[in-house]
C-alpha cells in the first residue's frame, strides 16, 4: 500500500474505531477490507492500540499534574521511612547545625540555672536574662496536646479512609509517651493540657485568657506544632511543620520563642 493509501486507511480505521466515521467512510473502509483482507488484522491491531493509548496517556499526563497539596499528616510518616531506609545524612547534619539555647522560655525557675549553663547562651539571651533579673514578667506558657484515644495503629490513616471506616481520624493512633515527655521536658513548668478531640483543642486555642500567654500546640494529626499568643503587645502565630522529627521541631520552636521574647 502506498503511503498515501496507508494514511487514508489509518484515518478511516481511526474514525471507525472512535465511532466518528460517516456512512460513506465506513463503506470506503469495507471496500478496502475486500481488496486487502490483511487490513482486517491491521484494523484489530489499531483497536488494541487505541485501547492502550486510552490507558497510558492519562499516566503520561499525570506526570505533569501540579494540583494538589501534599498532606501535612503524611510528612512525619514519610520522613520516618526516609530515615529508616536511607539513614541521616552526615553532610546535612553538619551544614545545618541546630543550636538550641538552653534558656527555658516562660519558666521563671530557668533564671536559677547554674552559671555554667548560662555561659553557653547566645547574645540574644542576655537581653532576656536582663529582663528576668530586672523582674520583668514572662509570658505564661501552656502546652496543648491533641491526644488520640483508642486503638494504636502503626500508620496514620488519611481522614478519607478513616471516615470510610466510620471512625474519627483521631481515634486511629495515639500520641506516643515519648512525645509527651519531650514536650514536658522542653517546657518543664508549663501547664500541659491534653485533648482527645480536635474540636476541644480548637476551643482551647481560641480561648482568650491572659494577654501574656503563649500556647504551644502539638497537633500530631496535622504534623505540626503551632505557637499562638500575645507578648509585649505583639501577637504570636506561627506554625512549625514537623519535617524531621518532633524533637528537632521543638528545638526550633524554643529558639523562635527565645528570640521573640528577648526582642
Partner 1 sequence: MKPPNLKDLCHGDADAWHEAFRWLWPTVKEVAQLKLSPFLPQDVEDVAIEALEELVKGVRTVKVGEELKPLAASIAHNRAVSLLRKHFAQKRGAGQTQSFESLKGTMEDSSEPAAAKSPLDELVQAELSGLIAQLLTDLNPEQRAILNDFYLSGLSYEQIASKHGLAIDTVGVYLKRGREASCRAIKRQPKLLKEMEAFLR
Which chain residues interact with partner 1 by CB under 8 A?
Answer: 7, 10-11, 14-15, 18, 20, 41, 44-46, 48-63, 65-71, 74-75, 77-79, 81-83, 85-89, 91-92, 157-158, 160-161, 163-164, 243-244
Smallest separation (angstroms) from partner 1 to the CB of 166: 11
Task: Rank residues 52 and 126 by Cβ distance to partner 1 and give the closer one.
Answer: 52
What does the buried/exposed string (b/e) look like for 92-115 if buried means 16 or more CB atoms within 10 Å of the residue's CB? eeeeeeeeebebbbbbeebeeeee
Between 68 and 135, whose beta carbon lies closer to partner 1? 68
Contact of 204 with 191, CB cutoff 8 Å = no
The nearer residue to partner 1, 14 or 171, going by C-beta atoms, is: 14
149 burial class (0-12, 13-18, 19+ CB within 10 angstroms)?
A: middle
Rg, C-alpha atoms of the chain: 32
Q: How far is the CB of 94 from partner 1 (least distance, A)?
A: 12
Quick check: 137 and 212 in contact, CB under 8 A? yes
Core vs surface per residue 20-45: b (16+ CB within 10 A) or e:
ebeeebeeebeebeeeeeebeebbee
- Residue nearer to partner 1 on the CB measure, 48 or 112: 48
Strand-pairing partners, residue 225, are: 218, 240
Closer residue to partner 1, CB minimum distance, 167 or 205 = 167
Cα dihedral: 102, 106, 107, 111 (round 10): 60
Measured from the CB of residue 49, what is the shortest distance to partner 1 in angstroms? 6
| Cα–Cα distance measured from residue 258 to residue 141, given in angstroms and rounded to the nearest whole number | 12
Of 79 and 197, which has the nearer Cβ to partner 1?
A: 79
Distance CA 180, CA 49 (A): 58
What Å distances lie between residue 153 and 60, 61, 238, CA to CA? 35, 35, 29
Closest approach of Cβ 219 to partner 1, in Å?
Answer: 18
Nearest distance from C-beta of residue 44 to partner 1, angstroms: 5
Least distance in angstroms from the C-beta of 167 to partner 1: 12
Nearer to partner 1, 164 or 232 (CB): 164
- Smallest gap, in angstroms, from Cβ of residue 180 to partner 1? 23
Amino acid at each position: 500500500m502506498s503511503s498515501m493509501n496507508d494514511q487514508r486507511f489509518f484515518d478511516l480505521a481511526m474514525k471507525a474505531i472512535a465511532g466518528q466515521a460517516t456512512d460513506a467512510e465506513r463503506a470506503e473502509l469495507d471496500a478496502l477490507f475486500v481488496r486487502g483482507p490483511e487490513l482486517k488484522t491491521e484494523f484489530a491491531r489499531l483497536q488494541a492500540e487505541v485501547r492502550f493509548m486510552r490507558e497510558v496517556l492519562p499516566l503520561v499526563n499525570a506526570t505533569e499534574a501540579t494540583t494538589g497539596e501534599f498532606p501535612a499528616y503524611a510528612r512525619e510518616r514519610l520522613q520516618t521511612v526516609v530515615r529508616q531506609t536511607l539513614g541521616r545524612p552526615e553532610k546535612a547534619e553538619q551544614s545545618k547545625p541546630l543550636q538550641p539555647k538552653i534558656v527555658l522560655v516562660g519558666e521563671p525557675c530557668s533564671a536559677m540555672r547554674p552559671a555554667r549553663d548560662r555561659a553557653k547562651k547566645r547574645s540574644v539571651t542576655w537581653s532576656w536574662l536582663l529582663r528576668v533579673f530586672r523582674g520583668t514578667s514572662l509570658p505564661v506558657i501552656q502546652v496543648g496536646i491533641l491526644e488520640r484515644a483508642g486503638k494504636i495503629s502503626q500508620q496514620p490513616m488519611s481522614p478519607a479512609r478513616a471516615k470510610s471506616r466510620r471512625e474519627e481520624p483521631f481515634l486511629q493512633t495515639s500520641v506516643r509517651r515519648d512525645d509527651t515527655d519531650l514536650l514536658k521536658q522542653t517546657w518543664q513548668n508549663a501547664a500541659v493540657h491534653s485533648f482527645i478531640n480536635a474540636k476541644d483543642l480548637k476551643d482551647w486555642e481560641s480561648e482568650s485568657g491572659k494577654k501574656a500567654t503563649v500556647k504551644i500546640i502539638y497537633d500530631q494529626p496535622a504534623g505540626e506544632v503551632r505557637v499562638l499568643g500575645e507578648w509585649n503587645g505583639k501577637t504570636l502565630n506561627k506554625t512549625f511543620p514537623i519535617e524531621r522529627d518532633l524533637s528537632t521541631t521543638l528545638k526550633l520552636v524554643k529558639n523562635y520563642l527565645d528570640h521573640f521574647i528577648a526582642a
